[in-house]
Amino acid sequence: MAPTSPRPLSIHETPIPGLLHIDLTVHADRRGWFKENWQREKMVALGLPDFHPVQNNISFNDDVGVTRGIHAEPWDKFISVAAGRVFGAWVDLREGPSFGSVYTTEITPDTAIYVPRGVGNAYQTLEPNTAYTYLVNDHWSPDAQYTFVNLADPTVAIEWPIPLSNAITSEKDAQHPQLSAVSPFPSSSVRRVLVTGAKGQLGRELLRQLPQAGFEVTGVDLPEVDISDAASLDTIDWASYDIIINAAAWTNVDGAETAQGRPQAWKANATGPANLARIASQRGLLLVHISSEYTFDGSTGPHDEDEPASPLGVYGQSKAGGDAAIRSVPRHYLVRTSWVVGDGKNFVKTMVSLAQRGISPRVVSDQIGRLTFTSDLAAGIIHLISSQAPVGTYNLSGEGPVVSWADVARRTFELTGHPGDAVTPISTEEYFAGQDVAPRPLNSVLNLTKIEATGFTPENSMKRLEEYVQSLVNA
């Protein structure tokens, strides 16, 4: 390459959505040339997706006219040449309105192309001894889904500089189907979600709501998948997912204070999220993580998203540790909630059972907050993802009046047709007198201003309570 004035790094859109043409800065003199072929910080700032490459490949071509393609793989690629010159051609093979769109250009050392997954890629060498390079963000797998179209397809009608009759091609490439026979690459608009803790109250609700919202969802839980085991997580095909929702947690608050429970709580609530944070950061995945108001001491309220952690017990401490790891992920939603009620063992179900059996409980009256029904919690998470709300921390509980546990118990008794005064209010100190239990935050009220500003307002938690108790009574 002759000495030239280097052109500035720039990125340009093409007729194929997501396919980007990059002008690289090449510094040349009589000794040769130098370029930054891939420079994450500069390129991402100009609009290139932060696609997290994991493998760098080089295809060396001896002769002029070597022609390869047209192949669409389930990963993104960043293409250039280290030596020589090629004619590049791309065909959109993704399902959707741009299916069949074509872009062609010549690639020299000062040119690169970003190719999103599902776009067919092909090239033809224009000089001998051409070194064609490409970064990819997943490792090759024989089980991956590939899509092809024939180099000579008349509909695509690529004008190859060297006629294919004179080109050097493989027999395999010559057998690829015509565009009319191609099954389009599945649209990336169908987002694929992995839900951890899928057997829990929230996990089950997410598995119910996500498909209704247009997501493709897979649920995992113990014992098959342990998020605290990094080696186990590394066996998962993460290329099959776009989003992780971590609903897995150790929630036995009192058990976390025991010698046996303490390490289990830290494994599930801190080590596990840290493992998921590593994977999400490496692969550019969106990570949604569920936190708790137990990360605060409850001395004041309502709690804002930016309130410093001040946990009282091991459960809250382990959750705060996991939260810290989640915040390191570039694309994350940390969803803090409280007083969760859903499909499974919960406080309301216990109160219904006591009322029906004629048992009059004592219930603490100095712990205040709002119930969060998993139907609202799952809907709020889906709203954040679907609306592409700014990443960060969001409080998400039920709306409505601030109540105590005793208030909830009294209302539950009334809704089952039993007198509310069968519930005896008592202080937390009195209730746990003489017991070795975890400390509880007295104020669990969460400020919901931030998530409501995104367009999502949870249902009134006391209205939800009425609906839920009615469903239990009628079951």
Q: Which residues are catalytic?
A: 71, 134
Rounded to the nearest 5 percent, the helix, strand and coil shares of the chain are: 30, 25, 45
Longest dimension (CA), the chain: 94
Structure tokens at 293: 């108001």
Could you tell me where the beta strands, DSSP code E, fall in 278-345? 286-292, 332-337, 340-341
Spatial separation of the C-alpha atoms in residues 92 and 31, rounded to whole Å? 40
437 contacts 257 by C-beta, under 8 angstroms: yes
Structure token pair of residue 44: 């991402």
The DSSP string of 269-286 is IIIHHHHHHHHHHHHT-E
Do you know the residue count of the chain? 475
CA separation for the pair 45, 48 (Å, rounded): 7
- Residue 451, Cα to own-chain centre: how many angstroms? 18
Residue pair 371/461 in contact by the 8 Å Cβ criterion: yes
In which element (H, E) is residue 349 found? helix 347-356
